[in-house]
Structure 1
Amino acid sequence: MAALLSAEHYLPHATPMVLLEQVVAVSDETAHCRVRVSGDGVLAPFLNADGQLPAWFGIEIIAQTIGVWSGWHARQRGDNELRPGMLLGGRGYRCSQPVFPADGLLDVKVTLLMHDEKIASFEGEIMVNGEPCASGRLNTYQPDDKELIQLMQQDSNS
């Protein structure tokens, strides 16, 4: 297996919207990423005055870990262009605390539950400093080129 690159190599996002730092592992059905809640890291623009990250960011962090899974697989197929995905919804997202603590190390793991050409469902979990903190099931959609063009045209007409 080739060496893993940082998260931005697998996501169609640009700074400051990449909320992950390290890709730890990717397999056929799982992905594992990390990010530290730090004033000098990628999460810095989103921290509160105490250097903490609001827990609702966990949904996007899990979604981006799914994006890393998708982007890694696209790269393995030889696709040079990363395709944006859409979060259709989340089910049962729960976090045991209102914020992720300053200097906390977030380990984010996703497991594929179901996947077809366009729709996928993943179970996601966030551990903070090795302790379970947040989890939920996220459903995603990967539009094809025609759908992307239609979405972009609708967006520009708004």
Structure 2
Amino acid sequence: MSRYLSPGDYLPHDAPMLLLDEVISVSEDTAICRAAVARDGALGPFLDPQGNIPGWFALELMAQTVGVWSGWHRHQQGQDCISLGMVLGARELVCAAGILPAGLTLDITVTLLMQDARFGSFECAIAAGEETLATGRVNTFQPTSEELHSLFQQGASA
């Protein structure tokens, strides 16, 4: 039995938008999650006819792994695991092949570079075995409940 909860216990996502299959490890500065590029995995609904996942999914896989890292740390502090966070952007995001190929098991690793009370920056990589398929830096923001309320109220009245 894993010492980690399932990815969905740390993230405010449900299928089909929950893209991670498993939490492998979480530490003070890193998290590793896994997703299979397979019809029966969490990525299944998004595969192209050849069974590949478009490379731009790399950003969401990285962002969800950051969310797992954050949720695990909240859980360790006795707080609610799930909290809505936002991706501010990504720098130097590269998926050289343009796809994450069919049949691979992806290990998504995020490493904290910098964090304050509301902002974070993470170096990220997606690998299959020894081969690195995608890399980038993801910058995140943790809005307050008042900011979220205001954001969703404005969106509802637009």
Q: Tell me if TM exceeds 0.5.
A: yes
Whole-Å separation in 2 of the counterparts to 1:78 and 1:103: 38
Deviations 1:3-25 (A, max 9, x none): 11111111011111111011000
Aligned to 1:124: 124
Aligned to 2:115: 115
The 3 A distance-change label for structure 1 pair 132 and 81 is closer
Contact 1:5 1:23 in 2 (8 A): yes
Q: Structure 2-normalised TM-score? A: 0.96
Q: CA deviation at 1:120?
A: 0.3
Whole-Å separation in 2 of the counterparts to 1:107 and 1:89: 21
Matched, 1:5 2:9: no
Whole-Å separation in 2 of the counterparts to 1:54 and 1:42: 14
Q: CA deviation at 1:81?
A: 5.5
1:4-153 alignment to 2 at 5 Å?
4-80=4-80, 82-153=82-153
Whole-Å separation in 2 of the counterparts to 1:20 and 1:48: 18
What letter is aligned with 2:83?
Answer: R
What RMSD over aligned residues (CA atoms) do the two structures have, in Å? 1.2
Aligned to 1:154: 154
Contact 2:36 2:103 in 1 (8 A): yes
Secondary structure of the equivalent of 1:103?
coil
Q: CA deviation at 1:129?
A: 3.4
Where do 5+ consecutive residues of structure 1 fail to align? Answer: none
Q: Structure 1-normalised TM-score? A: 0.96
Contact 1:100 1:128 in 2 (8 A): no
Whole-Å separation in 2 of the counterparts to 1:151 and 1:7: 26
Whole-Å separation in 1 of the counterparts to 2:15 and 2:130: 27
Deviations 1:111-132 (A, max 9, x none): 0000011100000000023311
Whole-Å separation in 1 of the counterparts to 2:38 and 2:155: 34
What letter is aligned with 1:54?
Answer: P
Whole-Å separation in 2 of the counterparts to 1:106 and 1:129: 8
What letter is aligned with 1:109?
Answer: T
What letter is aligned with 1:120?
Answer: G
Contact 1:107 1:130 in 2 (8 A): no
